[in-house]
């Protein structure tokens, strides 16, 4: 017959808070996250301003809403064909700037 053994964890071990330098690059990672969050908010604000500005443009200049191009009213033409390029340009700009921030983070300042 085998003996039963009880294993307990000692309470003497104490976890270090993350601010004590537990990870070597904590400050740099937080800086990268803040940079990318600022970038995302700026990109979102620009897209929102452009898209929210369209109804305001047509409210301030009601004559534009009756203009027809290729048999389609201008507001519908802009909504159907003008919004997608805004999304594409904003997305490409955002990715380019986010990758630039990541490259700067992984640059020569980090030892191997």
Distance CA 100, CA 94 (A): 10
**Residue 10: pLDDT band with limits 50, 70, 90:** low
88 is a domain residue:
yes
97 is a domain residue:
yes
Question: Which of residues 17 and 76 earns the better pLDDT score?
Answer: 76
**Residue 32: pLDDT band with limits 50, 70, 90:** confident
Provide the sign of the torsion angle of the four alpha carbons 61, 66, 72, 76, taken in this order. Answer: positive
Q: Give Cα separations from 81 to 58, 63, 73, 75 (angstroms).
A: 16, 20, 12, 10
84 is a domain residue:
yes
**Residue 29: pLDDT band with limits 50, 70, 90:** confident
Burial track 75-96 (b if 16+ CB lie within 10 A, e otherwise): beebeeeeeeeeeeeeeeebee
Q: Domain count for the chain, please give it.
A: 1
Mean per-residue pLDDT over the chain, rounded: 82
1 is a domain residue:
no
């Amino acid at each position: 017959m085998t003996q039963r053994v009880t294993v307990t964890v000692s309470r003497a071990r104490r976890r270090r808070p993350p601010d004590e330098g537990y990870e070597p690059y904590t400050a740099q990672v937080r800086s990268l996250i803040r940079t990318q969050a600022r970038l995302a908010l700026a990109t979102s604000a620009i897209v929102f301003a452009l898209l929210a500005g369209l109804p305001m443009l047509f409210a301030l200049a009601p004559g534009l809403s009756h203009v027809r191009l290729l048999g389609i009213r201008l507001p519908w033409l802009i909504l159907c064909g003008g919004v997608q390029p805004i999304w594409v340009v904003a997305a490409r700009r955002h990715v380019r700037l986010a990758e630039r921030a990541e490259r700067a983070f992984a640059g020569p300042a980090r030892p191997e």
